[in-house]
Amino acid sequence: MSYRLQSSSIIINTRLGFTYSPKHSSLLPRFTPRAWFRCCRSQIGMDGDDASKACEVVIGDSELLDRKIAAIRSAGPKKLQVIVDFDRTLTRYSIDGQPGQSSHGLLQQGNPEYDAKRQQLYEYYHPLEFSATIPIEEKTRLMEEWWGKTHTLLIEGGLTYDAIKQSVANARIAFREGVVELFKFLEERDIPVLIFSAGLADIIEEVLRQKLHRSFKNVKVVSNQMVFDSDGCLVSFKGKTIHSLNKNEHALDMAAPLHDQLGDIDGPTDSSALVKKRTNVLLLGDHIGDLGMSDGLNYETRISVGFLNDNIENSLDGYRKSFDIVYLNDAPMWGVVELASQLCPAGGG
């Protein structure tokens, strides 16, 4: 990889053979790659060999992106919502050289027998989830089965809220640098952030509490919700199970009441109409399937940002065609913070 600064643009050559000359260099790396290297080193503690894996960004169609930025900016922040995946999008892919844990994977329910049973389910169903030969209807049925069995084990095994707190405290999970700044920026402008996940809302909320050390009134989690009794023991789950293959189907249904709670714009109306008023979307994900999170929202303009954390050489072409912006190498969130500031400039609407 080599970087070459020119007077008015930045050329980034990656070893993967793509060359881009983005006009909006500020979406890249804190304005110059050289500065970005320093940023990476100082903010996420990179040194030695890790520093050579500097963050990179790929923009497939910079003119289209420019048009989308201009459209969202001119519509103003009251028209914007942010939809974001949780695991490995908000959180880091790797921590201290080891894979970070997912919100599902970190849970130790304080009952080794039941932890082992859930692990056995994972080992059986996880390969089926990614099988290229199982038809989607069958796979959906299998995912419902897996989630259902897992939830039953959590209840039978006597999961408590205290065990969730302890699991999160012990977990190898961390947010990307810049997530707090992104949420804060959006909160100041009353822009809702919906975190969509097929995991467990109670765990995600606990991770937010423990790892961000503050709450944000604009951030809501759309995921499976637990019901605890007065002793803090899990007794049931609320509503329809959200699994990896159906999380997108529920986008509109689940987002609507949350927008309502956020005090959406222009006075009372039915909740689905409130969602529809936020017709511009900034979507963040780490899988191409995450693009489906905005299904049903009938958006006018969507800017999609993909985090490609693994298997880059094989996946980059697909990500570049699917997402407007792709960040590589477990990049921090600073580029998205900068993008948000372009979408909602100071003094704008």
Q: How far is the CB of 335 from Mg ion (least distance, A)?
A: 18
| Marked catalytic residue, from 49, 50, 66, 87 | 87
Active site residue 50: no
CB 285 within 8 A of CB 291: yes
In angstroms, give the least distance from the CB of 3 to Mg ion. 29
**What is the Cα gyration radius of the chain?**
21
**Residue 96 annotated as catalytic:** no
Among 68, 88, 118, 259, binds Mg ion (CB under 5 A): 88
Q: Name which of 89 and 224 has its Cβ closer to Mg ion.
A: 89
Nearer to Mg ion, 202 or 286 (CB): 286
Half-sphere CA count of 113, side-chain side, radius 13 A: 4
Phi/psi zone of residue 10: left (φ > 0), alpha (ψ -120 to 50 degrees), beta? beta
Window contacting Mg ion (CB under 5 A); options: 126-134, 216-224, 278-286, 306-314: 278-286
* Sheet strand arrangement including 19-20: 2-5, 10-13, 19-20
Residue 87 engages Mg ion in binding (rule: CB under 5 A): yes
Q: Catalytic: which of 49, 61, 85, 96? A: 85
Nearer to Mg ion, 163 or 200 (CB): 200
Q: Which residues contact 72 (CB under 8 A, 6 or more apart)?
A: 79, 80, 280, 282, 301, 303, 343
Smallest gap from residue 138 Cβ to Mg ion (A): 23
Closest approach of Cβ 284 to Mg ion, in Å? 10
Which CB, 88 or 320, lies closer to Mg ion? Answer: 88
CB 184 within 8 A of CB 140: no
Binding positions for Mg ion, 66-85, rule CB under 5 A = 85
Rounded CA separation 28/56 (Å): 8
Q: 130 phi and psi, to 5 degrees?
A: -105, 10
Nearer to Mg ion, 150 or 271 (CB): 150
Give me 287's structure tokens. 């899988």
Give residues 212-251 in contact with Mg ion (rule: CB under 5 A): none
286 near Mg ion (CB under 5 A) = yes
Provide the annotated active-site residues: 85, 87
Q: Can you give the binding site for Mg ion, defined by CB under 5 A?
A: 85, 87-89, 286
